[in-house]
Structures are given as structure tokens and as C-alpha cells.
């Protein structure tokens, strides 16, 4: 911040100072204190003044005792008629007489030594008796008035923006805390540099984008990048979520958008960040019965503020969403959100840096190799990796270890990918044998096929919804997938079902998950990837999730004849790969038996053991020179559209 620039005023939340119990008004206990003082004045003070208890007698008894000489001294109060005195025996008494006393009674009292007094009234007593009730009544009405004005102020200020203001005095996060994503940070840093040093860009006539939209899957760190901008920028940063604009009153969202931009304009240069912008930026006029009036009015106002008749110079918009397909086209055109920055799932190098960030402050054993962990977690987002490290720490605590070891990462990865182990689940000997041959079929196919991912671990211990799991480790980061790789993946998926058929002569329901994945993969080969000669180089759309605002149902853009050809091609591909799987397992039947027996004996074996058993039978294995040993690596979570790196037998649906 330059010396001549004064810090912006603190943000207002639109609430007026309150009366009793408010944030800036009197404390809530004020009323109770005043009430206690009033009660004390009425009851406690008079009781304390009566130090000596006295006997209450009637006025007639007082006169009789006075004439009989039983009273030694007495005083008569001319103001209220109270009579106090003492008997000859020292006992005190009190009574009340008329004011003024009758002449005969007054003469009798004077003859017997009764003193007539006229006491002066205390000003404090007068104030307590007469003024305190009035003060309490006035205070009560003032309290009611303040409450009413506060409520009216809250209603009238409902259109004020709820954005949180961050200045240079509050750098919570910086780009150092954002691991990886160098390309994303480059584009965001350019925006920050323009706001700090705009003259460098204006000298050559460059115009900075008015809006930057961060797009990516959940958990990739879009909001974290925005917080880093708040820490790096030397200008005020206004942060708000899309849901903060929505209220039950129509027009409130538009009013809050106006107030948000007015606040930003007063600051000269500012960054406005809207998280989850898809909640207010959906396409207008979509859905049955028209659009949502409040959402559309809010969007219209935002469009006008970003690039309307009034220029918003020096204000840069940032927004984050994981649903860019449902945003209104007017919001994405140049002049509004000029630049879309994709924040993808992290690559291998990015995952390594993210693991370094989350491993700070945690005690790691020397045997922990984060490079191996990063290599074995393709498809995991930054949030997934943070959860993985935390789960490893929890496993270390459960075991009573003082450091996190590599086996804790293994257990944490299994927990994340498969679920909690169910070691206490009771399985019959026949079920265990069927599961062992099922997983042995997966493992054998993965080990002997040339393009299949190497085996990492095979287990028949139930975990989550699976009764057994075969984990594969991708030997490299893949961004495109060849047809032979996908076909080998189909063979691996078929391995469990065919192994059961070869050994037991029957099939079971355990291959349900494998069949679902294989069918979906074969259908994509035909419909989307053009891997069928009969269908040809044509793509027939994606059957992904439907946005209700655009389509109420999927529309099929091909004929019934084409649909029949697609189904036939899907069946052909699955039948061919099924036969390849059957031939592979038949040729290596002895190795299949050895792997299944090893699983029945040890319950869990690693990839090196599978390779050793295959070598004992003289099987020819593919050359994987240069690939890290699967025993030292982590199990893989597949990244779409990569075929799943784990195959398991599931219970009956």
C-alpha cells in the first residue's frame, strides 16, 4: 500500500447498533441491575433503617400507658404520625397516631414529656421513591424503541453485500502454500501484478482481463488459490459465496451485487472473488415453467456491473466452479470472464509437492518415500492427498507408533480406496476358495498381458463392500489410452469370472462390479472413441449427468439400426476379450492354482510374489525394464477415463 493511500474502512455487515444486548449497546444485564436497585430501595433500605426491633401497640394503648406513667420517653412525628418510644422497663414500642393529633391528646402528651418532632426529608430518599420508577419507565421505552429501530434497520439493510474484506494486513495464505500448479499461478500472478503495477501494462496498451474463472473438479484447490491471491495482492480483496446473494425476497440479490461493486469502486483497485458462482450464474430461462426470478435478476445485475454502461476500471473478478457447463453464455463472453483457468487433478510432480506441504509438521519415519506415494496416487486431488496423509497419521496413533511409517501410508491408501477392512467377517471355506481363484484370475492376467498395469498387491481380506481386491499400479502417467491397453484392461476385468468358470464349472455373482466396468468401457470404445470398424469414426455423445435446466431426458441422436449395431459391437468386443481371457488362464492353469493357494495361505501377497509364482511355471512375462518394482509402490486410484486399477469381487446385490 502506498503512503498516500489510506486503509479502507472496515466492512459493514448491514446491522445498526443495537440497544440492550446489542454488539455496541448496553449489556443485557443492565435491566436486571436496575431492577435489583429498585427492589432494594423499596424493601431492603427501609428494613436496614429499622435497627432496633420494637413492639407494635395501638394508639389507645399508647395513651393509656402514657397516663399511667409506664412510658419513659416518646417522640411524635408531625409529618406521618409515627410514635416511637420506650417503656420504663426499657422495651421499645411504636404506634401510629392521627396527623395532626387532637388537641386533648396533644395536651396529654405534652404534660407527660412526649417530644413533637418535624424531621427533614432526605433528598436521596425522595429521588429513590419518586424518580427511580420514572427512570425505569423511560429506560424501558428507550429499550423498546432501540429494538424496533434495530429490526427495521436489519430489514432495510437486507440488500447490503455480505462480502468479507481482506486488506494487506491480513495475508492468510500465499502462493508458497499452493503446491504445484505453476501454470495456474502464472496466470493469477499476472492479474496481481497488473493491480500492483498497472503502468507496466498500460505503457504498451495491454488490457488486463476483467474476470478470471477457476474451473476444475472438487478438491483441486480453487478456493485455496483465491486465498493465496488475497495474501499476495497489495489491493483489497472481497470474498463472497454465490449463496450469499440468494434470499427469499426478489431483488435482494441484485441489490447486494450493486452494493458489492460500489464498495469495490470506493477502494479504487480491488479483487472480487465469488466462490461457487454456478449457484447464481446458471443459464437463464432454463427448466420447466420459466426461470428463477431472484437468480436471474441477480445474474442480470452482475452482468451489467461487470461490463455494462458504467465502467468498472481497476476491479478484477475471480470466481470458482466445478460446473462450467451450466453457466450462462453471457457470463463467459470476453469483457466479463475473459479467461478460464483450468485447475485439473494434479500430475505426478504436483502430487509430490502437495504431499510435501501436508507432511510438514508430521513426524515421518526414514522408510517413508513420498515419491512412491505420489506415484501410486494418480487421480487423487489435493484434498484426497491431504486426507491420505491424515489417515496415515491416524493409523500410526492407533498402533501406538511415535512416527508415521510407510506401512501406515499403505493402510491409509487401502482405507481410502476400498474402505475399512472387515477382518472379522466370517466366510466359509468354499467362499474363501472361490474368492482366492477370482482374485488369482485378475492377478495372472495383469501379470502376463504386455500392456496391462503391473500388479501391486492381491488380497482376499474383505474391505468395504469388496470381498477381495487386486490392485494394479500404472507404470507411467497416461493422458491418452491406446486400444490395445484398453483391450488388455478388459481381459483383466474378465479374469475373475473366467477363473471361477474354469475351476468350479459355474459362475457366481462376485463378478458384478467387473462386468459393469467392462461393459461401460466397451460401450465407450464404440460410441465415443471410434474403436469399432462397423460404427466407424463417429461419436454419439456422452451419457453423463443431465442438467435439468437444459434437457429433461437424454435425446438419442442416432437411429434404431445404429443402436442395434452399437449393441452388437459392444457384445463382440466383450466376447473377444472374454475368449482371450479364457485362453490366457487355460495356458497358465498351474500358475493360477499356485496364486490361489498362496492367497488362501497368506490372505495377502504382493506383485513380486505373483511374478515369482509365474516364473516357477515357466511362464513368459512381458519386459517391464525401467519400471519401478510394484512392491515398492502404492496402489492406484484410476483417473478417468483410465480403466480401474483395482478389481474386486463384490457381494450379491
Query: What is the per-residue DSSP string for 432-474?
Result: HHHHHHHHHHHHHHHHHSSSSPPEEEEE-S-BTTBSEEEEE--
pLDDT digits (tens, 9 = 90+) for 434-448: 999 999 999 999 999
Taking a C-beta distance cutoff of 8 angstroms, is the pair 152, 14 a contact? no
User: What's 495-519 look like in SS3?
Assistant: HHHHHHHHHHCCCCHHHHHHHHHHH
Q: Specify the DSSP element, H or E, that contains 340.
A: strand 339-342
CA gap 469, 436 in Å, rounded? 10
Taking a C-beta distance cutoff of 8 angstroms, is the pair 353, 179 a contact? yes
Closest CA to 642 of 512, 511, 497, 529: 529
Question: What pLDDT is recorded for position 312?
Answer: 60
Question: What pLDDT is recorded for position 10?
Answer: 45
pLDDT tier for residue 26 given thresholds of 50, 70 and 90: low
Which residue numbers are catalytic? 439
User: What's 537-598 look like in SS3?
Assistant: CCCCCCCCCCCCCCCCCCCCCCCHHHHHHHHHHHHHHHHHHHHHHHHHHHHCHHHHHHHHHH
pLDDT for 152 beyond 50: no
Average of per-residue pLDDT across 18-46: 59
C-alpha separations of 83 from 70, 80, 109, 600 in Å? 15, 9, 11, 109
Q: Specify the DSSP element, H or E, that contains 273.
A: strand 270-275
* In-domain check, residue 20: no
Strands 339-342 and 211-215: parallel
How far from chain centre, in Å, is Cα 312? 32
Same domain as 337, residue 250: yes
Does residue 100 have a cis peptide bond before it, meaning omega lies within 30 degrees of 0?
Answer: yes
Same domain as 463, residue 505: yes
What rounded mean pLDDT belongs to the chain?
75
User: Of 119, 142, 176, which one is at a domain's C-terminal end?
Assistant: 119
pLDDT digits (tens, 9 = 90+) for 232-243: 776 777 878 777
Same domain as 472, residue 570: yes
Question: What pLDDT is recorded for position 155?
Answer: 45
Q: Is 22 exposed, middle or buried (0-12, 13-18, 19+ CB in 10 A)?
A: middle
User: Of 282, 307, 342, which one is at a domain's C-terminal end?
Assistant: 342
Same domain as 445, residue 516: yes
pLDDT for 642 beyond 60: no
CATH of the domain at 177: 3.40.50.300
Same domain as 305, residue 439: no
* In-domain check, residue 573: yes
* In-domain check, residue 271: yes
pLDDT digits (tens, 9 = 90+) for 85-119: 888 787 888 888 887 788 777 777 877 777 777 76
pLDDT for 579 beyond 90: yes
Taking a C-beta distance cutoff of 8 angstroms, is the pair 459, 604 a contact? yes
* In-domain check, residue 472: yes
Same domain as 233, residue 320: yes
Taking a C-beta distance cutoff of 8 angstroms, is the pair 87, 93 a contact? yes
Written as nine digits, the cell of 348 is 505426478
Q: Where are the beta strands (DSSP E) in 78-160?
A: 82-87, 92-96, 115-117
CA gap 418, 648 in Å, rounded? 9
pLDDT for 521 beyond 90: yes
* In-domain check, residue 146: no
CA gap 263, 244 in Å, rounded? 16
Same domain as 436, residue 398: no
* In-domain check, residue 503: yes
Same domain as 468, residue 601: yes
* In-domain check, residue 6: no
Same domain as 470, residue 452: yes
pLDDT for 343 beyond 50: yes
C-alpha separations of 587 from 177, 195, 618, 640 in Å? 54, 68, 11, 32
pLDDT for 487 beyond 90: yes
Taking a C-beta distance cutoff of 8 angstroms, is the pair 354, 393 a contact? no
Written as nine digits, the cell of 196 is 500492483
* In-domain check, residue 15: no
Lowest-confidence segment of 255-264, 303-312, 444-453, 592-601 by average pLDDT: 303-312
pLDDT digits (tens, 9 = 90+) for 181-199: 777 877 778 777 777 777 7
Lowest-confidence segment of 313-322, 434-443, 497-506 by average pLDDT: 313-322
Question: CB under 8 Å to 86, separation ≥6 — which residues?
Answer: 71, 72, 73, 74, 92, 93
User: What's 34-99 look like in SS3?
Assistant: HHHHHHHHHHHHHHHHCCCCCEECCHHHHHHHHHCCCEEEEEEECCCCEEEEEECCCCEEEEECCC
Question: 285 versus 446: which is more confidently predicted?
Answer: 446
Question: What pLDDT is recorded for position 250?
Answer: 58
How many domains is the chain built from?
A: 4
Same domain as 617, residue 575: yes
Question: 110 versus 453: which is more confidently predicted?
Answer: 453
pLDDT tier for residue 212 given thresholds of 50, 70 and 90: confident
Same domain as 307, residue 182: yes
CATH of the domain at 385: 1.10.8.60
User: Of 297, 320, 342, which one is at a domain's C-terminal end?
Assistant: 342
CATH of the domain at 76: 3.30.720.210
pLDDT for 399 beyond 80: yes
CATH of the domain at 620: 1.20.58.760
Same domain as 410, residue 307: no
Question: What pLDDT is recorded for position 567?
Answer: 92
Domain that holds residue 85: 52-119
pLDDT digits (tens, 9 = 90+) for 410-427: 888 878 776 666 666 677
Amino acid at each position: 500500500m502506498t503512503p498516500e493511500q489510506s486503509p479502507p474502512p472496515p466492512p459493514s455487515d448491514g446491522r445498526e447498533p443495537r440497544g440492550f444486548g446489542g454488539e455496541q449497546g448496553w449489556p443485557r444485564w443492565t435491566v436486571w441491575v436496575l431492577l435489583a436497585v429498585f427492589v432494594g430501595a423499596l424493601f431492603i433500605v427501609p428494613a436496614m433503617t429499622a435497627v432496633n426491633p420494637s413492639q407494635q401497640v395501638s394508639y389507645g394503648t399508647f395513651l393509656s400507658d402514657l397516663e399511667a406513667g409506664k412510658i419513659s420517653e416518646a417522640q411524635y412525628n408531625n409529618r406521618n404520625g409515627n410514635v416511637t418510644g420506650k417503656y420504663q422497663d426499657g422495651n421499645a414500642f411504636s404506634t401510629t397516631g392521627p396527623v395532626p393529633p387532637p388537641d386533648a391528646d396533644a395536651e396529654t402528651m405534652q404534660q407527660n414529656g412526649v417530644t413533637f418532632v418535624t424531621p427533614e426529608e432526605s433528598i436521596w430518599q425522595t429521588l429513590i421513591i419518586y424518580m427511580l420508577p420514572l427512570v425505569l419507565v423511560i429506560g424501558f421505552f428507550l429499550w423498546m424503541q432501540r429494538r424496533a429501530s434495530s429490526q427495521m434497520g436489519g430489514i432495510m439493510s437486507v440488500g447490503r453485500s455480505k462480502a468479507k474484506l481482506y486488506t494487506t494486513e491480513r495475508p492468510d495464505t500465499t502462493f508458497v502454500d499452493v503446491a504445484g500448479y505453476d501454470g495456474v499461478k502464472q496466470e493469477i500472478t499476472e492479474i496481481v501484478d497488473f493491480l500492483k503495477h498497472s503502468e507496466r501494462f498500460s505503457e504498451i496498451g495491454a488490457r488486463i482481463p476483467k474476470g478470471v474463472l477457476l474451473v476444475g473438479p472438487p478438491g483441486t484447490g480453487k478456493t485455496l488459490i483465491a486465498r493465496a491471491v488475497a495474501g499476495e495482492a497489495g489491493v483489497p480483496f472481497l470474498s463472497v459465496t454465490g449463496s450469499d446473494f440468494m434470499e427469499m425476497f426478489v431483488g435482494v440479490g441484485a441489490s447486494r451485487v450493486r452494493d458489492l461493486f460500489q464498495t469495490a469502486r470506493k477502494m479504487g483497485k480491488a479483487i472480487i472473488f465469488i466462490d461457487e458462482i454456478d449457484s447464481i450464474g446458471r443459464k437463464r430461462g432454463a427448466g420447466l415453467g420459466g426461470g428463477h426470478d431472484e437468480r436471474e435478476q441477480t445474474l442480470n445485475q452482475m452482468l451489467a456491473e461487470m461490463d455494462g454502461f458504467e465502467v468498472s476500471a481497476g476491479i478484477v473478478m475471480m470466481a470458482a466452479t466445478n460446473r462450467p457447463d451450466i453457466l450462462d453464455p453471457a457470463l463467459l463472453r470476453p469483457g466479463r470472464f475473459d479467461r478460464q483457468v483450468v485447475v485439473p487433478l494434479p500430475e505426478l510432480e504436483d502430487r509430490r509437492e502437495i504431499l510435501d506441504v501436508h507432511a510438514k509438521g508430521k513426524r515421518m519415519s526414514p522408510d517413508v518415500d513420498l515419491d512412491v506415494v505420489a506415484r501410486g496416487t494418480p487421480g487423487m486431488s489435493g484434498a484426497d492427498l491431504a486426507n491420505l496423509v491424515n489417515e496415515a497419521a491416524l493409523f500410526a496413533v492407533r498402533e501406538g507408533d511415535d512416527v508415521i511409517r510407510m506401512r501406515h501410508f499403505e493402510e491409509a491408501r487401502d482405507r481410502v480406496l476400498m474402505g475399512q477392512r472387515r477382518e472379522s467377517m466370517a466366510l466359509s471355506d468354499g467362499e474363501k476358495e472361490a474368492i482366492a481363484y477370482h482374485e488369482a484370475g485378475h492377478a495372472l492376467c495383469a501379470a502376463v498381458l504386455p500392456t496391462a498395469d503391473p500388479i501391486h498387491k492381491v488380497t482376499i481380506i474383505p474391505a468395504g463392500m469388496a470381498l477381495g481386491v487386486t490392485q494394479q499400479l500404472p507404470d507411467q502417467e497416461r493422458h491418452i489410452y491406446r486400444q490395445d491397453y484398453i483391450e488388455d484392461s478388459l481381459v483383466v476385468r474378465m479374469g475373475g469370472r473366467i477363473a471361477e468358470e474354469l475351476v468350479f464349472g459355474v459362475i457366481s455373482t462376485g463378478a458384478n462390479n467387473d462386468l459393469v466396468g467392462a461393459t461401460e468401457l466397451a460401450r465407450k470404445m464404440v460410441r465415443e472413441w471410434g474403436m469399432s470398424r462397423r460404427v466407424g469414426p463417429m461419436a454419439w455423445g456422452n451419457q453423463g449427468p443431465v442438467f435439468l435446466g437444459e434437457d429433461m431426458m437424454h435425446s438419442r441422436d442416432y437411429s434404431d439400426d445404429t443402436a442395434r449395431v452399437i449393441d452388437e459391437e459392444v457384445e463382440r468386443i466383450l466376447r473377444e476379450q472374454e475368449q482371450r481371457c479364457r485362453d490366457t488362464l487355460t495356458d497358465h492353469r498351474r500358475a493360477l492354482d499356485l496364486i490361489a493357494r498362496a492367497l488362501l495361505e497368506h490372505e495377502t501377497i504382493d506383485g513380486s510374489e505373483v511374478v515369482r509364482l509365474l516364473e516357477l511355471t515357466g511362464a513368459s512375462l512381458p519386459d517391464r525394464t525401467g519400471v519401478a518394482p510394484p512392491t515398492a509402490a502404492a496402489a492406484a486410484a484410476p483417473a478417468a477415463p483410465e480403466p480401474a486399477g483395482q478389481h474386486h469381487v463384490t457381494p450379491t446385490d
